[in-house]
Amino acid sequence: MLIPHVSQRRINRLIADDGRSFMLALDAHNFSAKANNVDRTVSAVPRMAELGLDAVLVPYGISCRKAEELRDVALVLRCDASTDVFDPTVPDTQIVNSALDAVCVGADAVVVMTFMGAAHAPKIQDATQTLRREASEYGLPLIVESLPYSYAGTGDEGSNPDNVAVAARFAEELGADIVKTRLTGTDADARILKAVTVPVVALGGPKTDLAGYLAYVSRCLDAGAAGVAVGRNIVDDPDPVAKVAALSAIIHSGATVDQALAIYKQK
């Protein structure tokens, strides 16, 4: 039987015509006990889609319950979850959904997390390969969120750009069509992005003020990132719709940080 790799139509749903992708991570319930603002943000997705949001990363439950709110964006099914959501460091993960589940909810892609160099890395890598094979059978793109050692990655080898570059390329070799990983917003990102030949989107980013975060995203794009996959920096913002408008202006319209700040204040 001829097995397709991925559907270009689905890739085109994830990445806009300008080659950029603006993803919103609404999957915090799979990894944290502190996800109070997710439902508020889900209800605002239709407005965010009008402003340029391309895709959402969601768990199975939200994909089923909120189909109407999510109909105007690409849907990426989060197929893994923390083994202990009460531990904010995300100590280990497990697969909780399959590529067939993604097909059933009408998803355009699947996403899974890996921690290269962690004690549990072999288990996660094996699970990722299983998901890749399943996704290929249905033509679903695979997004691999690849981080060295751990999710936290602050002040340790997990945040070293050289290590991130190795982890990002390893995700590509596992079969990722898009890599989601930690970027710095500095010149060091060039080492990470040069190591990978598939699109790379920056995950999350630092907790900082609005201007600082917009500048971070702008620098990531200037370095060559294909886009961002933002969670709490939008979900926990006092005005998530305004934050999406400002970020979309940078991602899809080439706005400066000052222009994006003005857009935020106008919303």
Catalytic, out of 34, 66, 123, 180: 180
- Distance, CA of 232 to CA of 42 (rounded, Å): 13
The answer to whether residues 114 and 128 touch, using CB atoms and an 8 Å cutoff, is yes
* CA angle at 93 for the pair 91 and 97, rounded to the nearest 5°: 160
* Structure tokens belonging to residue 25: 């991570």
H-run or E-run covering 135 = helix 121-137
Scan for tokens 């209800």, then name that residue: 43
Tell me whether residue 180 is one of the annotated catalytic residues. Answer: yes
- Distance, CA of 64 to CA of 70 (rounded, Å): 10
End-to-end CA distance of the chain: 52
Point out the residues that are catalytic.
Answer: 180
